[in-house]
Homo-oligomer: A and B are copies of this chain.
Amino acid sequence: MTINNWDIAIKGGIILTMSEKMDILRNHLIGIKDGKIIHIGNEEAAYNAGCTIEAGDCLVMPGLVNTHTHLPMVIFRGMADDLPLQDWLNNFIFPAEKRFINKEAVYSGALLAMAEMILSGTTTFCDGYFYEDAVGAAAIKAGMRAVIAQGFLDFPTPDNPEPAKKSVVAERFINRWHNAHPLISPALFCHAPYTCSPQTLIEIKKIARKTGVLYFTHLLENKDESQDIEKRYGRAPVQHLDNLGVLDGKTIAVHCNWLADRDLDILAERGVAVSHNPESSMKLAAGVAPVPALLARRITCGLGTDGCASNNNLDMFGEMNTAAKLHKIAAMDPTVMNAETVVTLATRGGAKTLGMADCIGSIEIGKDADIILLDMNKPHLTPLYNCYSQIVYAAGGADVKTSIIGGKIVMKDRKLLTIDIDEAMAEVRRIAKDIFPA
């Protein structure tokens, strides 16, 4: 008796739903059809599916959401580390971007980055960089869910030599991607209050509002940004942005390492979400975002890896691990940022940060089928008392076995099905040889 006709069934395992109720289900069956989760029920039920994944020893959980990356920067991974920030930026990163960032390099870098992300359990990312059309094209190829945020600064950039035309560029970018692909959402990214004039910040936000897309900005990554902005505009950064009217429920502030109490009030009041990138901010000695305080005020937060020039990997498991530990030591309190909280940040919190809480971030009927399976049958994941602890404190990206995005299997038993990784690596190695001839 054919009682249904699913595309994929996931049978057994331990299902960490990450729903509001944080249900953990055993001996269950997940049915996926047309990209959606349409059934969660008893394992014994009869069903008919194009493909059944036996979860066995696996933990079944929502795919991870990386709320902030600069994917094409994988081509600079490890090129210049352990340097003072300004030396790193001005003598390595900016010159390298000027010389080596073009549409082809962006595509190749982004595709390799997506291979790395899928292999480590990320199913949705938000990228901000230049040539975001190429990132979008790579995401379609990889089968990843993506927010692609075209970047803007006041000086000429590789993909926009005439800064004055940025409104046209922004509008055209949104129009090209609006409803172009079910997995891709376009967005706009003003680099930072110190690289974007008030006019740029306002102009781009205006287009974001008109087109209904997300608006990003780096904010208070470093301590000296406060003084700098206050000197230039007479207001501290958060007040400055608020005064420009660019803060609302569709604005995402990235980093936020140096928020004052009054800043938290403004972010909470305006409904601004925060992308927290602990590893990058530790490595660059930039600062520690007050995430426990943000969460206490019910400000939406997600985790992000930042780009590979400052991390240097895109493994969200590492990011969770670091987030939990960093805030404990910063607060000198081991109860801060417990494992459940951190896994929530990397899943449901990330989804909410990107305005996608209705479709991803948890395993619930009606949501899009973005699901990963973790192979728990490994020495470093044995024994298993607490799934959240195991994910945050013991697991790594390499433990992800299978990944489904939008109801499509993109990795099975650690084999990527959408990307030829040998080709993707060869392409980036070719680019790297131009950057640093061996």
Closest to A427 in B: B382
Residues A83 and B334 in contact, CB atoms below 8 Å apart: yes
Residues of B within 8 A of A295 (CB): none
Let me know if A379 is at the binding interface, CB within 8 A: yes
Residues B383 and A282 in contact, CB atoms below 8 Å apart: no
Of the 9-residue stretches A46-54, A158-166, A391-399, which lies at the interface with chain B? A391-399
Copies of this chain, whole number: 2
Residues of B within 8 A of A383 (CB): 74-75, 77-78, 428-429, 431-432
Residues B335 and A83 in contact, CB atoms below 8 Å apart: yes
Q: Among the listed B77, B285, B394, which residue makes an inter-chain contact with A334, where contact means beta carbons less than 8 Å apart?
A: B285
**In the complex, A281 Cα to B394 Cα: how many Å?**
16
Residues B385 and A77 in contact, CB atoms below 8 Å apart: yes
**In the complex, A309 Cα to B429 Cα: how many Å?**
41
Q: Among the listed B78, B336, B382, B389, which residue makes an inter-chain contact with A385, where contact means beta carbons less than 8 Å apart?
A: B78
Let me know if A90 is at the binding interface, CB within 8 A: no
Let me know if A272 is at the binding interface, CB within 8 A: no
Residues of B within 8 A of A338 (CB): 81-82
Residues B328 and A283 in contact, CB atoms below 8 Å apart: yes
Residues B119 and A380 in contact, CB atoms below 8 Å apart: yes
User: How many residues of chain A get a CB closer than 8 Å to chain B's CBs?
Assistant: 74
Let me know if A182 is at the binding interface, CB within 8 A: no
Residues A282 and B328 in contact, CB atoms below 8 Å apart: yes
Of the 9-residue stretches A246-254, A316-324, A360-368, which lies at the interface with chain B? A316-324
Residues B334 and A425 in contact, CB atoms below 8 Å apart: no
**If the complex has contacts A313-B380, A334-B283, A425-B377, are A329 and B288 also in contact, measured as CB distance less than 8 A?**
yes
Q: List the interface of chain A (C-beta within 8 A of B).
A: 74-75, 77-79, 81-85, 88, 112-113, 115-116, 119-120, 279, 281-285, 287-288, 308, 311-315, 318, 321-322, 324-326, 328-329, 331-339, 377-380, 382-386, 389-390, 393-394, 396-399, 421, 424-425, 428-429, 431-432, 435-436
